[in-house]
């Protein structure tokens, strides 16, 4: 009847022993490889129950020592751990169905039926960086926009409550940080994911003349001509503006112009083409997502930005003050620094991509 029995188990041959050892080593090796992938339950692998039991202790200890607290047990054992690598950064542990990566600036009530929060959802966002001295000019400007526009004021003088004299101010968004510029505000409070609900974003100075402006008609022109970055034309009798930004009576929009001799190194580049000034730009939602990333945290005056906006659109952009004398030196230095950074970034990209 052959050899003797121990514990009811047949004697393993040397080949069988080697196969068993190789199997165990393969399982352990596979486990360490699998640590870099989303979690898989061992219950789905057909292994002997005794082997699963012994491995479970080792795996649990390894898991606890190599993962952060956020990846440890989250409740009953029947609740699966979640790790979705395609989720937005920081949300890998959440089920995709709960993720809301974009938001808006719509106001919500503190109580009542949520469905009654908004009678109408504005489709466009208008921001002004303001001081109280310009309140009357801002009041006149706001009245040029319909209920399709939500108003957001950035208060660089810290005076907010005084604006309550205007009825529209009670439903506006107010952000107050003293002595900051509009591009400082834009970088910190106009993240593309926060203002994703708005089709177009107006980022305007406080001292614009708007006697002949109409918000709805402007949006109609922007959509009609497919303008990703634009600005309203300025009165042609203002001799201190670029030729590109002056209104023309013979057409609805224009994308190029002739400037003073020597002012344009290339007739297809700013300020003779694809040029919108930083004082009254209007961005499509898609273009702003690109421009926001181009904004530098520390270059707060925006000088030189208008010469680079064309990088964020396909083809040519459509057209759209210098700050006070006390900050003019910094504006010029920021312009030079911004251009230097762009040039370095271009050279680095070309070198890495093997195009040089």
Q: Which SS3 state, helix, strand or coil, does residue 124 take?
A: strand
Q: According to the CATH classification, is domain 114-314 in 3.90.550.10?
A: yes
How far CA 336 is from CA of 273, 321, 326, in Å, comes to: 21, 17, 18
Q: Is the pTM of this model over 0.85?
A: no
pLDDT band at 127 (very low <50, low <70, confident <90, very high): very high
Task: Provide the β-strand partners of residue 201.
Answer: 125, 283
Q: Which residues of 227-256 are buried (b: 16+ CB within 10 A; e: fewer)?
A: bbbbbbbbeeeeeebbbbbbbeeeeeebbb
pLDDT band at 265 (very low <50, low <70, confident <90, very high): confident
Q: What is the DSSP letter of 226?
A: T
Q: How far apart are CA 8 and CA 115, in angstroms?
A: 71
Q: Which carries the bigger pLDDT value, residue 250 or residue 20?
A: 250
* Other residues' Cβ atoms within 10 Å of the Cβ of residue 196: 14
Extents of the domains making up the chain: 114-314, 315-355
Q: Which carries the bigger pLDDT value, residue 96 or residue 249?
A: 96
Q: How far apart are CA 102 and CA 100, in angstroms?
A: 6
Kindly tell me the burial class for residue 145, based on how many C-beta atoms sit within 10 Å of its own C-beta (0-12, 13-18, 19 or more).
Answer: buried
* Whole-number pLDDT of residue 327: 64
Task: Provide the β-strand partners of residue 256.
Answer: 273
Q: Which SS3 state, helix, strand or coil, does residue 351 take?
A: helix
pLDDT digits (tens, 9 = 90+) for 74-122: 444 555 678 888 899 999 999 999 999 999 999 888 888 887 888 889 9
Task: Provide the β-strand partners of residue 167.
Answer: none
Judge contact between 281 and 315, C-beta under 8 A.
no
Degrees, nearest 5: CA angle 38-41-47: 130
In the sheet that 149-155 helps form, which strands lie side by side, from edge to edge? 173-176, 149-155, 124-130, 200-204, 282-284, 229-230
Instruction: Provide φ and ψ at 9, rounded to 5°.
Output: -105, 135
Q: How far apart are CA 166 and CA 158, in angstroms?
A: 17
pLDDT digits (tens, 9 = 90+) for 23-73: 666 665 665 555 544 444 434 444 444 444 444 434 344 344 444 444 444
Nearest to 195 by CA among 272, 127, 294, 93: 127
Mean pLDDT over 185-199 rounds to 97
pLDDT digits (tens, 9 = 90+) for 137-172: 999 999 999 999 999 999 999 999 999 999 999 999
Q: How far apart are CA 355 and CA 351, in angstroms?
A: 6
- Residue 212 CB contacts under 8 Å (≥ 6 apart), including other chains: none
């Amino acid at each position: 009847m052959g050899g003797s029995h121990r514990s009811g188990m047949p004697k393993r041959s040397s080949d069988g022993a080697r196969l068993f050892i190789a199997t165990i080593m393969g399982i352990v090796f596979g486990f360490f490889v699998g640590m870099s992938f989303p979690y898989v339950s061992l219950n789905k692998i057909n292994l002997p129950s005794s082997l699963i039991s012994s491995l479970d202790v080792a795996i649990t200890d390894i898991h606890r020592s190599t993962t952060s607290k956020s990846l440890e047990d989250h409740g009953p054992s029947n609740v699966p751990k979640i790790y979705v690598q395609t989720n937005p950064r920081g949300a890998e542990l959440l089920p995709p169905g709960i993720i809301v990566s974009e938001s808006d600036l719509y106001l919500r009530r503190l109580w009542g039926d949520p469905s009654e929060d908004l009678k109408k959802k504005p489709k466009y966002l208008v921001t002004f960086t303001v001081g109280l001295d310009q309140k009357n000019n801002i009041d006149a400007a706001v009245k040029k926009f319909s209920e399709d526009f939500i108003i957001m004021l950035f208060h660089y003088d810290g005076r907010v409550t005084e604006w309550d004299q205007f009825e529209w101010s009670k439903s506006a968004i107010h952000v107050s940080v003293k002595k900051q510029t509009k591009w400082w505000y834009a970088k910190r409070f106009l993240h593309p994911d926060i203002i994703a609900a708005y089709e177009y974003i107006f980022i305007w100075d406080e001292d614009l003349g708007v006697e002949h402006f109409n918000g709805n008609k402007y949006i109609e022109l922007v959509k009609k001509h497919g303008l990703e970055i634009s600005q309203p034309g300025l009165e042609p009798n203002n001799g201190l503006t670029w030729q590109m930004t002056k209104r023309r009576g013979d057409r609805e929009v224009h994308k190029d112009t002739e400037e003073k001799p020597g002012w344009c190194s290339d007739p297809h580049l700013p300020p003779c083409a694809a040029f919108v000034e930083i004082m009254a730009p209007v961005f499509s939602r898609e273009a702003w997502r690109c421009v926001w990333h181009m904004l530098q945290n520390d270059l707060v005056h925006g000088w030189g930005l208008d010469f680079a906006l064309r990088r964020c659109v396909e083809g040519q952009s459509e057209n759209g003050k210098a700050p006070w004398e006390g900050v003019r030196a910094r504006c010029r230095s920021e312009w030079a620094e911004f251009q230097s950074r762009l040039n370095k970034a271009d050279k680095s990209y070309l070198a890495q991509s093997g195009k040089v």
